[in-house]
Amino acid sequence: MTRQADVRAALADPRLQVTPPAPGDGPMARLRRAVSRFSDGAEHTARRSAAVAEYGRIAVAALRAEVGARVCVELAAARGGRIDLMPAARAIPVGVLATAMGLQAGLSSEVSEVVAVIAAAYPPGAVVEPVPADRAVTRLEALLGHPEPGRFAALAVLLVQTCDATAGLIGNTLGQVLSHGARGAVDAALAETLRFDPPVRATVRIAREPVSIGEVAIPATATVILDLAAANRDPAVFAYPGRFDPGRPERASLTFGSGHRSCPGEKAAFEMAAGFVQAALGCELADIRYAPSTNLRVPSRLEVIA
Protein backbone atom coordinates (compact mmCIF):
# COMPACT_ATOMS: atom_id res chain seq x y z
CA MET A 1 0.00 0.00 0.00
CA THR A 2 1.33 3.39 -0.93
CA ARG A 3 -1.38 6.00 -0.35
CA GLN A 4 -1.12 7.78 2.96
CA ALA A 5 -4.81 7.34 3.87
CA ASP A 6 -4.65 3.58 3.12
CA VAL A 7 -1.41 3.05 5.04
CA ARG A 8 -2.81 4.96 8.02
CA ALA A 9 -6.01 2.87 7.95
CA ALA A 10 -4.00 -0.35 7.69
CA LEU A 11 -1.80 0.63 10.66
CA ALA A 12 -4.96 1.19 12.74
CA ASP A 13 -6.62 -2.12 11.79
CA PRO A 14 -6.20 -4.86 14.43
CA ARG A 15 -7.02 -7.55 11.82
CA LEU A 16 -3.66 -6.76 10.22
CA GLN A 17 -1.05 -8.16 12.60
CA VAL A 18 2.73 -8.02 12.84
CA THR A 19 5.01 -10.75 11.53
CA PRO A 20 5.44 -13.29 14.34
CA PRO A 21 8.98 -13.88 15.59
CA ALA A 22 10.93 -16.81 14.18
CA PRO A 23 10.99 -19.94 16.37
CA GLY A 24 14.15 -20.84 18.27
CA ASP A 25 15.49 -21.52 21.75
CA GLY A 26 18.46 -19.23 22.13
CA PRO A 27 18.55 -15.87 23.97
CA MET A 28 17.99 -13.90 20.72
CA ALA A 29 14.89 -15.93 19.78
CA ARG A 30 13.57 -15.53 23.35
CA LEU A 31 14.10 -11.76 23.20
CA ARG A 32 12.20 -11.49 19.89
CA ARG A 33 9.34 -13.48 21.45
CA ALA A 34 9.26 -11.20 24.51
CA VAL A 35 9.15 -7.71 22.93
CA SER A 36 6.07 -5.64 22.04
CA ARG A 37 7.29 -5.12 18.48
CA PHE A 38 6.56 -8.72 17.44
CA SER A 39 3.42 -9.36 19.49
CA ASP A 40 -0.25 -8.51 19.04
CA GLY A 41 -3.47 -8.02 21.01
CA ALA A 42 -3.41 -7.90 24.81
CA GLU A 43 0.20 -9.14 24.92
CA HIS A 44 1.28 -6.23 22.73
CA THR A 45 -0.65 -3.71 24.84
CA ALA A 46 0.96 -4.90 28.10
CA ARG A 47 4.48 -5.08 26.70
CA ARG A 48 4.17 -1.71 25.00
CA SER A 49 2.97 -0.16 28.29
CA ALA A 50 6.03 -1.56 30.05
CA ALA A 51 8.37 -0.08 27.39
CA VAL A 52 6.54 3.26 27.45
CA ALA A 53 6.84 3.33 31.28
CA GLU A 54 10.62 2.85 31.03
CA TYR A 55 10.78 5.50 28.30
CA GLY A 56 8.81 7.86 30.57
CA ARG A 57 11.70 7.85 33.07
CA ILE A 58 14.11 9.34 30.49
CA ALA A 59 14.80 13.09 30.49
CA VAL A 60 14.24 13.40 26.75
CA ALA A 61 14.93 17.15 26.64
CA ALA A 62 18.51 16.56 27.84
CA LEU A 63 19.37 14.07 25.05
CA ARG A 64 20.15 16.66 22.37
CA ALA A 65 22.91 18.37 24.35
CA GLU A 66 24.37 15.07 25.58
CA VAL A 67 24.62 13.63 22.05
CA GLY A 68 26.00 16.94 20.73
CA ALA A 69 28.73 16.96 23.39
CA ARG A 70 29.84 13.41 22.53
CA VAL A 71 29.92 14.20 18.79
CA CYS A 72 32.05 17.30 19.46
CA VAL A 73 34.60 15.11 21.26
CA GLU A 74 34.79 12.73 18.25
CA LEU A 75 35.14 15.60 15.78
CA ALA A 76 37.76 17.39 17.86
CA ALA A 77 39.89 14.23 17.83
CA ALA A 78 39.64 14.09 14.01
CA ARG A 79 39.93 17.85 13.38
CA GLY A 80 41.09 18.62 9.83
CA GLY A 81 41.14 14.93 8.83
CA ARG A 82 38.62 12.51 7.33
CA ILE A 83 36.24 10.57 9.57
CA ASP A 84 33.41 8.13 8.84
CA LEU A 85 30.56 9.37 11.05
CA MET A 86 28.38 6.24 10.80
CA PRO A 87 30.03 4.26 13.63
CA ALA A 88 29.36 7.26 15.91
CA ALA A 89 25.82 7.68 14.53
CA ARG A 90 25.10 4.08 15.58
CA ALA A 91 26.94 4.12 18.90
CA ILE A 92 26.35 7.57 20.44
CA PRO A 93 22.50 7.66 20.52
CA VAL A 94 22.29 4.14 21.98
CA GLY A 95 24.97 4.96 24.56
CA VAL A 96 23.34 8.24 25.53
CA LEU A 97 19.93 6.60 25.83
CA ALA A 98 21.34 3.77 27.96
CA THR A 99 22.94 6.32 30.30
CA ALA A 100 19.65 8.27 30.45
CA MET A 101 17.94 4.98 31.38
CA GLY A 102 20.21 4.75 34.42
CA LEU A 103 23.11 2.65 33.16
CA GLN A 104 26.56 3.53 34.49
CA ALA A 105 28.12 5.97 31.94
CA GLY A 106 31.33 3.92 31.71
CA LEU A 107 29.38 0.98 30.26
CA SER A 108 27.67 2.90 27.47
CA SER A 109 30.13 2.05 24.70
CA GLU A 110 29.90 -1.68 25.43
CA VAL A 111 26.10 -1.42 25.46
CA SER A 112 26.24 0.27 22.04
CA GLU A 113 28.41 -2.56 20.68
CA VAL A 114 26.14 -5.37 21.85
CA VAL A 115 22.97 -3.51 20.83
CA ALA A 116 24.33 -3.11 17.28
CA VAL A 117 24.85 -6.89 17.07
CA ILE A 118 21.32 -7.53 18.38
CA ALA A 119 19.79 -4.93 16.02
CA ALA A 120 21.30 -6.70 12.99
CA ALA A 121 19.72 -10.01 14.05
CA TYR A 122 16.37 -8.58 15.23
CA PRO A 123 14.22 -8.03 12.10
CA PRO A 124 12.06 -10.96 10.98
CA GLY A 125 13.97 -12.84 8.30
CA ALA A 126 17.40 -11.46 9.29
CA VAL A 127 20.09 -13.84 8.06
CA VAL A 128 22.93 -13.65 10.59
CA GLU A 129 25.18 -15.94 12.60
CA PRO A 130 23.08 -16.89 15.67
CA VAL A 131 26.00 -17.30 18.10
CA PRO A 132 27.18 -13.63 18.23
CA ALA A 133 23.57 -12.41 18.55
CA ASP A 134 22.87 -14.86 21.40
CA ARG A 135 26.06 -13.81 23.18
CA ALA A 136 25.13 -10.14 22.71
CA VAL A 137 21.69 -10.66 24.30
CA THR A 138 23.24 -12.48 27.27
CA ARG A 139 25.81 -9.71 27.70
CA LEU A 140 23.15 -6.97 27.46
CA GLU A 141 21.18 -8.69 30.23
CA ALA A 142 24.31 -8.63 32.41
CA LEU A 143 25.12 -4.99 31.55
CA LEU A 144 21.56 -4.00 32.50
CA GLY A 145 21.97 -5.79 35.87
CA HIS A 146 19.89 -8.92 35.14
CA PRO A 147 16.44 -7.31 35.31
CA GLU A 148 13.43 -9.67 35.47
CA PRO A 149 12.53 -10.92 31.95
CA GLY A 150 9.60 -8.54 31.31
CA ARG A 151 11.66 -5.50 32.29
CA PHE A 152 14.63 -6.72 30.27
CA ALA A 153 12.41 -6.95 27.15
CA ALA A 154 11.11 -3.41 27.78
CA LEU A 155 14.61 -1.94 28.17
CA ALA A 156 16.03 -3.96 25.27
CA VAL A 157 13.27 -2.99 22.82
CA LEU A 158 13.98 0.70 23.47
CA LEU A 159 17.71 0.32 22.86
CA VAL A 160 17.45 -2.02 19.87
CA GLN A 161 14.75 0.01 18.09
CA THR A 162 16.94 3.11 18.52
CA CYS A 163 20.06 1.76 16.86
CA ASP A 164 19.74 1.57 13.05
CA ALA A 165 16.75 3.89 12.60
CA THR A 166 18.32 6.80 14.48
CA ALA A 167 21.67 6.24 12.73
CA GLY A 168 19.80 6.35 9.41
CA LEU A 169 18.01 9.57 10.31
CA ILE A 170 21.34 11.17 11.24
CA GLY A 171 23.12 9.92 8.11
CA ASN A 172 20.31 10.79 5.70
CA THR A 173 19.90 14.29 7.19
CA LEU A 174 23.63 15.00 7.08
CA GLY A 175 23.67 13.72 3.49
CA GLN A 176 21.00 16.30 2.63
CA VAL A 177 22.25 19.29 4.58
CA LEU A 178 25.97 18.90 3.87
CA SER A 179 25.41 18.42 0.13
CA HIS A 180 22.69 21.06 -0.37
CA GLY A 181 24.12 23.65 1.96
CA ALA A 182 20.85 23.88 3.96
CA ARG A 183 22.83 24.25 7.18
CA GLY A 184 20.54 26.72 8.94
CA ALA A 185 17.48 25.20 10.58
CA VAL A 186 18.40 21.73 11.82
CA ASP A 187 14.92 20.84 13.13
CA ALA A 188 13.25 21.70 9.82
CA ALA A 189 15.87 19.72 7.86
CA LEU A 190 15.33 16.71 10.14
CA ALA A 191 11.56 16.86 9.81
CA GLU A 192 11.82 17.07 6.02
CA THR A 193 14.37 14.22 5.91
CA LEU A 194 11.95 12.10 7.94
CA ARG A 195 9.39 12.64 5.18
CA PHE A 196 11.64 12.68 2.12
CA ASP A 197 14.31 10.10 2.95
CA PRO A 198 13.12 7.97 5.89
CA PRO A 199 15.50 5.42 7.45
CA VAL A 200 12.69 2.84 7.82
CA ARG A 201 11.04 2.46 4.40
CA ALA A 202 8.17 0.08 5.15
CA THR A 203 6.54 -2.18 7.68
CA VAL A 204 4.75 -5.47 7.14
CA ARG A 205 1.42 -6.86 8.34
CA ILE A 206 -0.32 -10.22 7.89
CA ALA A 207 -4.10 -10.35 7.39
CA ARG A 208 -5.66 -12.65 9.99
CA GLU A 209 -9.03 -12.41 8.14
CA PRO A 210 -10.22 -10.75 4.90
CA VAL A 211 -9.88 -6.94 5.13
CA SER A 212 -10.83 -4.16 2.68
CA ILE A 213 -8.90 -0.91 2.78
CA GLY A 214 -9.50 1.82 0.23
CA GLU A 215 -9.78 0.03 -3.08
CA VAL A 216 -7.75 -2.99 -1.94
CA ALA A 217 -9.39 -6.28 -0.92
CA ILE A 218 -6.86 -8.21 1.18
CA PRO A 219 -7.48 -11.95 1.51
CA ALA A 220 -6.85 -13.79 4.79
CA THR A 221 -3.17 -14.82 5.29
CA ALA A 222 -1.92 -12.24 2.75
CA THR A 223 1.25 -10.34 3.60
CA VAL A 224 0.73 -6.59 3.22
CA ILE A 225 3.64 -4.21 2.70
CA LEU A 226 2.87 -0.76 4.09
CA ASP A 227 5.16 1.49 2.10
CA LEU A 228 5.83 4.34 4.54
CA ALA A 229 8.31 6.03 2.19
CA ALA A 230 5.76 6.12 -0.66
CA ALA A 231 3.01 7.36 1.69
CA ASN A 232 5.38 10.19 2.66
CA ARG A 233 5.36 11.31 -0.98
CA ASP A 234 1.62 10.97 -1.55
CA PRO A 235 0.65 13.81 -3.93
CA ALA A 236 -2.79 13.90 -2.27
CA VAL A 237 -1.06 15.16 0.91
CA PHE A 238 2.14 16.93 -0.20
CA ALA A 239 2.67 19.60 -2.84
CA TYR A 240 5.73 18.74 -4.97
CA PRO A 241 6.35 15.58 -2.92
CA GLY A 242 9.64 14.77 -4.67
CA ARG A 243 11.22 18.07 -3.64
CA PHE A 244 13.37 18.30 -0.49
CA ASP A 245 11.87 21.40 1.09
CA PRO A 246 12.59 21.99 4.80
CA GLY A 247 10.22 24.98 4.71
CA ARG A 248 7.12 23.06 3.61
CA PRO A 249 4.08 23.59 5.83
CA GLU A 250 2.62 20.05 5.65
CA ARG A 251 4.49 17.49 7.72
CA ALA A 252 2.17 14.49 8.14
CA SER A 253 4.88 11.87 7.63
CA LEU A 254 4.28 8.21 8.54
CA THR A 255 7.94 7.52 9.27
CA PHE A 256 7.19 6.76 12.94
CA GLY A 257 4.11 4.71 12.03
CA SER A 258 0.74 5.68 13.48
CA GLY A 259 -1.95 4.42 15.82
CA HIS A 260 -1.62 1.84 18.58
CA ARG A 261 1.81 0.59 17.48
CA SER A 262 3.39 3.92 16.50
CA CYS A 263 6.94 4.61 17.60
CA PRO A 264 6.99 5.70 21.27
CA GLY A 265 10.58 6.94 20.85
CA GLU A 266 9.88 9.63 18.23
CA LYS A 267 10.83 12.58 20.42
CA ALA A 268 14.02 10.90 21.67
CA ALA A 269 15.04 9.98 18.11
CA PHE A 270 14.46 13.53 16.95
CA GLU A 271 16.34 15.15 19.85
CA MET A 272 19.34 12.81 19.55
CA ALA A 273 19.54 13.21 15.76
CA ALA A 274 19.26 17.01 16.13
CA GLY A 275 22.16 17.06 18.63
CA PHE A 276 24.30 14.97 16.29
CA VAL A 277 23.50 16.91 13.09
CA GLN A 278 23.97 20.31 14.78
CA ALA A 279 27.42 19.30 16.05
CA ALA A 280 28.50 18.07 12.60
CA LEU A 281 27.27 21.06 10.56
CA GLY A 282 30.80 22.46 10.21
CA CYS A 283 32.03 19.29 8.44
CA GLU A 284 32.52 18.95 4.71
CA LEU A 285 30.92 15.93 3.03
CA ALA A 286 33.54 13.72 1.35
CA ASP A 287 31.61 10.50 0.56
CA ILE A 288 28.28 8.86 1.34
CA ARG A 289 27.43 5.22 0.53
CA TYR A 290 24.47 2.99 1.19
CA ALA A 291 24.51 -0.76 1.83
CA PRO A 292 21.80 -2.75 0.01
CA SER A 293 18.80 -3.41 2.24
CA THR A 294 15.22 -4.46 1.62
CA ASN A 295 13.82 -2.07 4.19
CA LEU A 296 16.34 0.25 5.80
CA ARG A 297 18.01 3.25 4.26
CA VAL A 298 21.00 3.81 6.47
CA PRO A 299 24.36 4.98 5.08
CA SER A 300 27.05 2.33 5.41
CA ARG A 301 29.63 5.12 5.22
CA LEU A 302 29.39 8.87 5.71
CA GLU A 303 32.87 10.27 5.34
CA VAL A 304 33.42 13.93 6.20
CA ILE A 305 36.33 16.27 6.64
CA ALA A 306 36.05 17.33 10.26
Name the segment binding ligand HEM (CB under 6 A); options: 100-108, 127-135, 182-190, 265-273.
265-273
> What are residue 272's phi and psi, to 5 degrees?
-70, -40
Angle formed at CA 91 by CA 109 and CA 251, multiple of 5 degrees: 145
Q: Would you mind telling me the total number of residues written for the chain in this entry?
A: 306
Name the segment binding ligand HEM (CB under 6 A); options: 83-91, 196-204, 280-288, 297-305.
196-204
Name the segment binding ligand HEM (CB under 6 A); options: 116-124, 126-134, 160-168, 293-301.
160-168
Give dist(CA 277, CA 287) in Å, integer.
Answer: 16
**Dihedral over alpha carbons 158, 54, 150, 125 (to 10 degrees):** -10
Which of 94, 122, 121, 110 shows the shortest CA–CA distance to 36?
A: 122
Are the CB atoms for 166 and 269 separated by under 8 Å? Answer: yes
Host H or E run for residue 174? helix 149-180
* Chain Cα centroid distance, residue 114: 16
Site string for ligand HEM, 111-150 (x = CB under 6 A): ----------------------------------------
Pairing of strands 299-305, 82-84: antiparallel
Q: Is residue 173 at the binding interface for ligand HEM, with CB under 6 A as the rule?
A: no
Q: Is residue 162 at the binding interface for ligand HEM, with CB under 6 A as the rule?
A: yes
Q: Which residue's C-beta sits nearest to ligand HEM? A: 265
Neighbours of 267 (CB within 10 A): 15
36 vs 176, beta carbon nearer ligand HEM? 36
Name the segment binding ligand HEM (CB under 6 A); options: 84-92, 122-130, 241-249, 253-261.
253-261
Q: Is residue 201 at the binding interface for ligand HEM, with CB under 6 A as the rule?
A: no
Contacting ligand HEM (CB under 6 A), which of 161, 172, 232, 278?
A: 161
Q: Is residue 264 at the binding interface for ligand HEM, with CB under 6 A as the rule?
A: yes
Residues that bind ligand HEM (CB under 6 A): 36-37, 48, 51, 55, 97, 157-158, 161-162, 165-166, 169, 199-200, 203, 255-257, 261, 263-265, 268-269
